[in-house]
Structure 1
Amino acid sequence: MGSHEFVRAVPRLDGMVVSAVGYRSAGQRPGLHRGLPSPYLTVIFSLEGPIATGSTPGQATGGDAVRTDIVLGGLHQSPAYVVQPEHEAGIQLAVHPLAARALLGLPAAGLMGELVTSGTDVLGGRAAEVRERLCALDRWPDRFALLADYLRRRVAAADRADPVRPEVAEAWAWLARHRGAGTVGGLSRHVALSERRLTAVFRAETGLSPKQAARLMRFQHARTAVVRSVTAGGGPDLARIAADTGYYDHSHLVRDFRQYTGASPTRWLAEECRNIQAGAHGPGED
C-alpha cells in the first residue's frame, strides 16, 4: 500500500501564505494526480527529483511535460496533471495571489502564460540554493523555518515594489467575504469602479476576471465541504453542499467540478479517496 506523510505548518507571513504542507510518500503505485484550480497560487519545493506536470495526462507523462524542482502555478481554470512517482517528497505552499508581488516579484497575472512555471526562472538561483538546503535537512520544523526565513527576506527586499491597487485588494476581500457568491454588479458598486474598469484592473493583477475569481472561491468552499464529508465517513450530499455554498442548484456544482477537475464529483472522489483519507487535502491546497 505504501506510506504517506503529510505535515502542516502554521504560516506566519501576515496572511501571504495561506497554508504550508510537507508531504512524503514511498512505495506507492505510480500514477497521476489532478492539481485543482483554487483561489491561491501554488508553490512547490520538491525534496526528491523534478516534478513532471502537464495540461493533459498525455503531456504530463510524455516528452512535452514541464519538469522542474520548484513549481509555480497561477490561478488556472483547469486541472494540472502531476506525475506521482513511487517516491516523492516536498513542501507545497498556497500563496495569496495579492502577495505575489512581495513573495515572487511579479503580479499573479505574470504566471498566467503557462499552466506551470519553473520556480528558478522567476525566483532566481537563490531559490535553488534554498531547495538544496531543504533537501539536506531531516526535520519538518527545520525545513519550514528555513523556507519561512527565505520568504520573509524576499518580502523585506520587495518593500519598494509597486503595491497592489487598493480597489483590487478591496475587490478580492469583498469576494472572499461573500465566499464567491456576490455579483459583479454589487462588487463594482462597492469599489466605485465601472464593471469594465474593475475587470481590467482586476485581470491585470490576478490574471482572472472578478467573475472567474468568484467561481474559484465558490468551488473551493464546495470542494472543502465535499472533502470534509468524506473525512467524516459519510457520502457527500451534493444538493445540500450546492445550496450551502451559493450554487443555483446541484447541476451547476457538477458543471464546475467537471471544469475544474476534469471529472464528475463521483469520479474525482474515487481517484482522490486515498489522498483525502491520508490528510492531503485541506484549506487552500490541491
Structure 2
Amino acid sequence: MAHGSGWDGEAVREFVRGAPGLSGLVVSAVGYRSRGVQPALHRGLPSPFLTLIFSLDGPVTSGLTPEQARGDDAVRTDIVMGGLHQRPAYVIQPEHEAGIQLALHPLAARRLLGLPAGALADQIVVSGTDVLGRRGAELHERLLEQTGWEARFALLASYLRGQVSRSEEGGRVRPEVGEAWAWLARHRGAGTLNGLAEHVALSPRRLTTLFRAETGLSPKQAARLMRFEHAKSIVVRGVTEGASPNLARIAADCGYYDHSHLVRDFHQYTGVSPTAWLAEECRNIQAGGHRSGEQ
C-alpha cells in the first residue's frame, strides 16, 4: 500500500494507493483525504476506464458544466459511477473530503457491475446506488465504519471478488471486442480502424457496432481517448519530476500529427489548454492526486 501526501500551508492532502487484486479488472484504487483546502472546481477528465467513487465525507457534488455543479440541479451522491465519456465532469472540491476512487476496466463492467459499460454510455456521473444496488449501499455503510485504509481496501476487495463470483456466465465479453480493446491498448491508440477490423476478422461496421454496445464508445473514440491518456500521463510524470513538459515532443512521441493536434484534444477532454490545465492541477499532481493505472 503506497502513501503520498502534500501540504499547502495548513492544507493537507493524502493519497493512498491500494491493491484490491483482480488484476485486469480493477486498474487502480486510491484512497484520498484532504482538509484545509481552498474550495475549488475540479475537472474530472475522461479516461479509458470507468470511475467508481465511494465518498467517506458527505456527497460528491458535480455537474456537466461549472454552472450545474455550482447550482441547485447539481448531482449529489455518496457513490459516484461514471461511464466512458468524452468531455470533463465538473466536481466541487470542498474544504475537506475523503473517499476511495477506483478505475475499472470497461470490459470488466459485466463482472463487476452486472451490466456492460455501454449501458453507462455518455453518463458522466450517475448515482452508484442505482448501478450497484443494495450490496453497494451496504458496502458504503461498512466503509464508513472503518477507521483505516487497510481495512477499507480489504472490504472493497471482498466485495469485488463477490461480484465476480456471482457474474460467471453473464460476465463474458465477445472475444473480438476483447482483442480489439487489447490491440488498441498495445498501440496506445495508434493504428487504423481498417487495420484493427482486419486483426479481429470483422468488418469495420460490425466491429464498431459490437464495440460501441459493449463500451459506449466507437473504436476510433476509444483510440483517441487512449492516446490522450498516454500523453497526459507523460505530462503528469514530467510535472511530478519537476520538469517543464515539452508538448511538441510529447505530441510526436504519442502519434499526434503535430503540437496543435494535441492541444485540440486537451481542449476537448479538459475544456482548457494544456497550460491552463496544468496551472489548475499542479498542486494536486505534486501531492500524488493523479495516480492512474499507468502512472
CA distance in 1, matches of 2:152, 2:267: 36
- What is aligned with 1:3? 12
Q: Percent identity?
A: 71
8 A contact 1:11–1:18 mirrored in 2? no
- Match for residue 138 of structure 1 among 140, 147, 150: 147
Moved segments of 4+, more than 6 Å = none
Residue from 29, 34, 40 that aligns with 1:20: 29
Q: Residues of 1 paired with 2:266 and 2:81: CA distance?
A: 23
Note the alpha carbon deviations across 1:66-92, whole angstroms, 9 max, x for none: 111000001100000011111100000
TM-score, structure 1 as length reference: 0.98
User: Is 1:81 matched with 2:90?
Assistant: yes
Secondary structure of the equivalent of 2:239? helix
Q: Distance in 1 between matches of 2:254 and 2:20?
A: 26
1:83 alignment partner, SS class: strand
Partner of 2:278: 269
Asked whether the equivalents of residues 40 and 284 of structure 1 are also in contact (C-alpha less than 8 Å), the reply is no
Which consecutive unaligned segments of at least 5 residues does structure 2 have? 1-8
CA distance in 2 between partners of 1:58 and 1:189 (Å) = 45
Shift of 1:162: 4.9
**Bigger Cα displacement from structure 2, 206-215 vs 131-140:** 131-140
Query: Across the two proteins, how many residue pairs are aligned to each other?
Result: 286
1:256 aligns with 2:265: yes
Deviation at 1:182, TM superposition (A): 1.4
Question: What are the residue-to-residue correspondences of 1:1-286 with 2, within 5 Å?
Answer: 1=9, 2-112=11-121, 114-284=123-293
Distance in 2 of aligned mates of 1:263 and 1:113: 20
Paired with 2:17 and 2:171, the residues of 1 have a C-alpha distance of 32
Output the CA distance in 2 between the equivalents of 1:194 and 1:104. 29
Secondary structure of 2:168 counterpart: coil
Q: Secondary structure at the match of 1:37?
A: coil
Distance 2:97 2:283 in 1: 16
SS of 2:243's equivalent in the other structure is: coil
The 2-side partners of 1:88 and 1:197 are apart by: 45
Gaps of 5+ in 1: none
Shift of 1:270: 0.3
- After superposition, the CA RMSD in angstroms is 1.2
C-alpha change, 1:162 and 1:140, in structure 2 (3 Å) is closer
Q: Is the 8 A contact 1:94 1:285 kept in 2?
A: no
Secondary structure of the 1:227 match is helix
